[in-house]
Amino acid sequence: MADYEAFTVAKENIEDERSLISKGVIGTATAIEKQPILDRYIPAHPVDRYTFKKWDTNDWARHNENKYFQSERDRDAATTTREEAKQLMQATQTRTNQTQAEVTERLGERLQNVNLWKFELEKTIRDLTAEIELMVGEKRRIEYAIQATEGPLHIARDCLANRQRRIDYDLVQDLAEKELLKEIELISQIQDTLAKLLQQAKDELEACREAKHRLEMDWSDKYSAQHLDSRSVQLKNTRGNIQRKAGTALYNLHESVPGDWQTFSDNNIRLAEQEREASIRLRGIIGSTLSNTSQDMREQADRVSQATSDRVAETEEACKRLETNLKKTVDEIAAVENTIRQLKDAIWEKDAPNKVAQTRLTNRHQRPNIELCRDEPAHRLIEEVTEIEDSIRKLEQKLEISEGNHRDLKATRLALEKEITVKKNSIAIDRDRCLRIRGCFPSGNHLCGYRNNTFGIDQ
């Protein structure tokens, strides 16, 4: 212990040789000029050039002691540095391992978060994809329903065109025609409503597909991030494609923060759910609208058919009454013709008695002188002729009236026959054309947009 303290004191009193060499020493014989260690020391006076000496024994001893203590100090410094280096290596190794483990744990947690959001995105994408498929089906229903309205519109217009072929007084704007006009107006309104609904369905489909695209892009980014983070988690110090890449320990200007990262996916999912709910509501509106429009068209079609059937029944009843009147008229014509024949016969039958009476009067007017007397036979003969002529005149008047009635009955018969023809034409148009065409009116399912080859529902 005492030796060590003496060594330490001596070490502090000895000047470092490296400092000594840098400034030189003073010789004992004479003063020498300080020169660089690699050069020489030249005496100050030329006479002392051969008598000076560079070092004395003290300098030599000091030089040796300096070497001893210098080596000892260098060894101590090296020992201290080795101990510090050993501690530093252990500390850095521990800290590096801890940091790497912490980073690996954080990467694992981040990977779990990415997987969680990726799962949520996948679920939302599946739900939205299913909703898009349902909305595509509803859009097709609307398109088929619009196409289905063309048939009823054509039927209504065809019925109106056929009913324009009615003639004479049957060309009236009856209840059937009014219902047909209402049907055409109703179908036009339904077509406008369905066209607007179809545009809404297209807009909603576009919005859903846009939301799905955002979700898919987000899912794709998270899939890439999951792959990269998985590779990063699997990297070890002894395995994996690890390389030194300078300049990577910097933040990217385009990096997002965790709050924005989570908000981005949450907003995408929220917007997608909103679009899906809007699509569900729109599908409900589409279903109820198609059901209501189909029901309205079917009810109006039933009203048109009922009005047309009633009109056919009324026309058939009128036609039957006209045929009954025609039969009675024909019978009456035959009776009048018989009466006319009888009247003519009666007038002809009065000709002979009239001739007899007139001949008698003529003969009696030829009685001579006093015999030309206005006796009772003369009075009766004159009364007879007058009576016969009056009867003939009455019979001729009645014959003239009967002939007039005969002409009127014949005109009535022609009018009845014409009217029956008109009625039969109207019946043929309403019953054989309009009602037969309306038998092809689409069913309710077809008007709702369902088709056999698409939805598997019978029309």
pLDDT digits (tens, 9 = 90+) for 128-152: 999 999 999 999 999 999 988 898 9
Looking at residue 31, its pLDDT comes to 43
- Are residues 381 and 364 in contact, defined by beta-carbon separation less than 8 angstroms? yes
Q: Which domain holds residue 435?
A: 109-235+262-350+399-459
- CB 422 within 8 Å of CB 169: yes
Residue 179 located in a structural domain: yes
- Residues 187, 57 share a domain: no
Rg (CA), the chain: 67
Beta strands in 32-94 (DSSP E): none
Ranges of the chain with pLDDT below 70: 1-56, 240, 242-256, 452-459
With contact defined as beta carbons under 8 Å apart, do 438 and 151 qualify? no
Q: Does the residue 394 lie in any domain?
A: no
Total domains in the fold of the chain: 2
Give the number of other CB atoms < 10 A from CB of residue 116.
12
390 lies in some domain: no
Reduce the secondary structure of 402-414 to three states and give it as a string.
HHHHHHHHHHHHH
**Final residue before a domain boundary, out of 57, 87, 117:** 87
Report d(CA 174, CA 161) in Å as an integer: 14
Amino acid in position 372: L
Residues 315, 168, single domain; the answer is: yes
Residues 81 and 17 in one domain: yes
The answer to whether residues 18 and 83 belong to one domain is: yes
Could you tell me if 168 and 288 lie in one domain? yes
Answer yes or no: are the C-beta atoms of 211 and 271 closer than 8 Å.
yes
Tell me whether residue 405 is in a domain: yes
Helix (H, G, I), strand (E, B) or coil at 246: coil
Q: What pLDDT score does 30 carry?
A: 41
Q: Are 140 and 454 in contact (CB under 8 A)?
A: yes
Does one domain contain both 118 and 153? yes
Q: Is 436 exposed, middle or buried (0-12, 13-18, 19+ CB in 10 A)?
A: exposed
3-class state of residue 260 by DSSP = helix
133/278 same-domain check: yes
Question: Has residue 38 been placed in a domain?
Answer: yes
Same domain as 38, residue 174: no
Domain assignment present for residue 211? The answer is yes
Tens of pLDDT, residues 166-202: 888 888 888 999 999 999 999 999 999 999 999 999 9
Asked if residue 248 is part of any domain, the answer here is no
Whether residues 336 and 457 fall in one domain: yes
Burial 140-168 (b: 16+ CB within 10 A, else e): bbbebbbebbeebbebbeebbebbeebee
The residue among 434, 146, 457, 456 whose CA lies nearest residue 293 is: 146
Q: Which of 56, 87, 118 is the last residue of a domain?
A: 87
- pLDDT > 90: what percent of the chain? 36
Domain limit, last residue, from 52, 87, 122: 87
CB 12 within 8 A of CB 70: no
Dmax over CA atoms of the chain, in Å, equals: 245
Among 203, 197, 183, 207, residue whose Cα is nearest residue 143:
197
In this structure, the answer to whether residues 285 and 423 fall within a common structural domain is yes
The three-state secondary structure class of 146 is helix
Residues 6+ apart with CB under 8 A from 416: 322, 325, 326, 329
Question: 333 and 419: one domain?
Answer: yes
Whether 172 maps to a domain, the answer reads yes
* 127 and 59 belong to one structural domain: no
